[in-house]
Amino acid sequence: MTTVAAVDCGTNSIRLLVLRQEDDGTITELARETRLAKLGQGVDATGEFHPDALERANRIFEEYAGIISSHGTDQVRFVATSAARDVSNRAVFEANVRERLGIKVDVIPGAEEAYLSTLGVLSGVDAPTPCLVFDIGGGSTELIVVADPVPEPAPATEEPGRSKGSPRIAYSVSLDIGAVRMKERFLPGDPPSTDEVVQARAYIGAQLDATDVDFPSLVSAVGVAGTATSFAAAKLGMQEYVRNKVHETLLTRDDIEEHLGRWLNQRAAVTAEEPCMHPLRAQVIAAGGLILDEISRRVPGGNVLVSETDILDGIALGLLAP
């Protein structure tokens, strides 16, 4: 029996997953937690973590340390992505993690982030390829094109001519168009003005169009992380967040336009009063929604499947089967 814990520290949220694998290979989820720290507060302008953000993160680390300890974990991995890559006071952040969790911080490059995200997503959804997997974070957005499987020789027990394979990453890129970054750079208004929205859209669209993603060739698109799941919860009219109901919700163009339009045209304090909406998420949901909307506009059919399995699952599964 092996018990592992994964911590995914992003620009907006810090999440924990604890899994236990029995000797027969059965995997049981022991804990899954999400806390919003808005660690990327002001990072785009100052290049460093704000003291208030570090304090919010420290409280979360202390809480997670208790959860990890209570499950008697064998391995723990702490992964940080966009927010921690370039800040000038990264050493302070890393020392905080070591002091409270007793582990080092892995600030992973974009290629590993793409791999772990794909591993996590494909553990929970079955999407036809070529498929775009995208993760709208606080500081960046990852785009991953999952290509057709690489054929493998069919076992002797299978019919001649049949083969199977594992999906592969054909292309991946990390763009500096996260929800927190876009809010702070382009959308200072509350609610944002028409001109602010136009400028944000233009910037997001230019970033997307400069990539090598062949959008017209895509067969499906899967969105992960807080922006996508918040849109799904709103579509379902949830009064209380239920993860397994959000998972595999299909967002149409009408769904995205309906909720984005509302969030763009009301104050964040009003948005924060909606069910399942954390106050820190309310501040950036419209900015994240613009990224989601611009991606959806480029995907044939405009539909986006929402996945609750993502990089956090990939980190934990990687510990179980490195």
Query: Which sequence spans correspond to the domains of the chain?
Result: 2-109+311-320, 125-306
Q: Do 154 and 194 contact (CB within 8 A), yes or no?
A: no
User: Of 72, 61, 5, whose CA–CA distance to 37 is shortest?
Assistant: 61
Residue 151 has pLDDT above 70, yes or no: no
CA distances from 199 to 66, 113, 187, 223 (A): 44, 29, 9, 24
Work out the mean pLDDT of the chain and round it to a whole number: 88
CA distances from 44 to 100, 155, 239, 288, 319 (A): 26, 53, 34, 16, 32
Question: d(Cα 212, Cα 217) in Å, to the nearest integer?
Answer: 12
Local confidence band at 268 (pLDDT 50, 70, 90 cut-offs)? very high
Residue 133 has pLDDT above 90, yes or no: yes
Equal fold, 2-109+311-320 vs 125-306: yes
CA distances from 100 to 7, 66, 115 (A): 13, 10, 28
CA distances from 186 to 82, 189, 199, 322 (A): 19, 9, 7, 41
- Asked: is 2-109+311-320 a CATH 3.40.50.150 domain? The reply is no
- Asked: is 125-306 a CATH 3.30.420.150 domain? The reply is yes
The pTM for the full model equals 0.78
Mean pLDDT across 142-170: 59
